[in-house]
Amino acid sequence: MSGRFLLVLAISFFLGGCGGDDNDSNEAATTPVQPLTVPLSTAMASLAANGLTASFSISGTVENVPLSGSGTLTATPFVATSLNNTSVLRTTETVSGTVVANGNSMPFSNTRTIFRNTVTYAVMVIDEGDAFVVFADYTIPPTVKAGDSGPLASATIYSDSTQATKVGTLTESYSVAADTGSSLLLTLLDKVFDNSNARIAEDETTFRIDTSGNISFVSSRSTMFNINGQSLGTLVFQ
Average pLDDT, the chain: 89
pLDDT interval class at 36 (50, 70, 90): very high
Residue 43 main-chain phi, psi, to 5 deg: -65, -40
Smallest CA-to-CA distance from 114 within 87, 86, 93 is with 93
140: three-class secondary structure by DSSP: coil
46: three-class secondary structure by DSSP: helix
Q: What is the pLDDT of residue 29?
A: 57
Q: Which long-range contacts (CB under 8 A, 24 or more apart) does 49-57 make?
A: 49/77, 49/78, 50/77, 51/75, 51/76, 51/77, 51/78, 51/91, 52/215, 52/216, 52/217, 54/216, 54/217, 56/97, 56/217, 56/219, 56/220, 56/237, 56/238, 57/237, 57/238
Smallest CA-to-CA distance from 71 within 85, 59, 62 is with 59
Pairing between β-strand 199-210 and β-strand 183-194 as defined by DSSP bridges: antiparallel
How do residues 52-98 score in pLDDT, each as one tens digit? 999 999 999 999 999 999 999 999 999 999 999 999 999 999 999 99
